[in-house]
Structure 1
Amino acid sequence: MLIHVNGKALEVSSATLAALLQELDFEENSVATALNQTFVRKTERAETGLKEGDAVEILSPRQGG
């Protein structure tokens, strides 16, 4: 299915947000996620389904100061 990840169109096979993180080789513990501009908690990713045209944001924490 075609979805947008961080603004880029991607063809993916994942049915859930957790599966998408695995498919894209992200470490689930080290990122924050949003689906269609709504924050998704780590504990909710496995049951958060994806559908054609969804917009996913995957953000890695950064240190600075």
Structure 2
Amino acid sequence: MSENTIQVRINQALHTLAAGATLADAVAKAAIQPPFAAAVNLQFVPRGQYAQHTLAHDDQIELIAPITGG
């Protein structure tokens, strides 16, 4: 890892992103298809804030798809 990158976990898998990356960048890296919800360090992040939510080294990101069938 260099000073130009950070490491984050997306659904427990380690990923390297550029320093200053946002949640939108992490979602793109994960290539998950909607619908899903996102949380960073167990805090829900509304979809409209993904591009403004800057990530930090060691952030834990969960991308959770809904389960149908109740």
The bucket for the TM-score relative to the shorter chain is 0.7 to 0.9
Aligned residue for 1:15?
A: 21
More helix by share: 1
Question: Considering only aligned residues, what root-mean-square deviation do their CA atoms show, in Å?
Answer: 1.6
Report the TM-score, using the length of structure 1 for normalisation. Answer: 0.82
Displacement of 1:26: 1.7
- SS of the residue 1:4 aligns to: strand
Q: Which has the larger radius of gyration?
A: 2
Structure 1 unaligned runs (5+)? none
- SS of the residue 1:12 aligns to: strand
Relative to structure 2, which stretch is displaced further, 11-20 or 43-52? 11-20
Aligned counterparts of 1:56 and 1:35: Cα–Cα separation in 2 = 5
Question: Number of aligned pairs?
Answer: 64
Amino-acid identity (%): 27
Structure 2 unaligned runs (5+)? 1-5
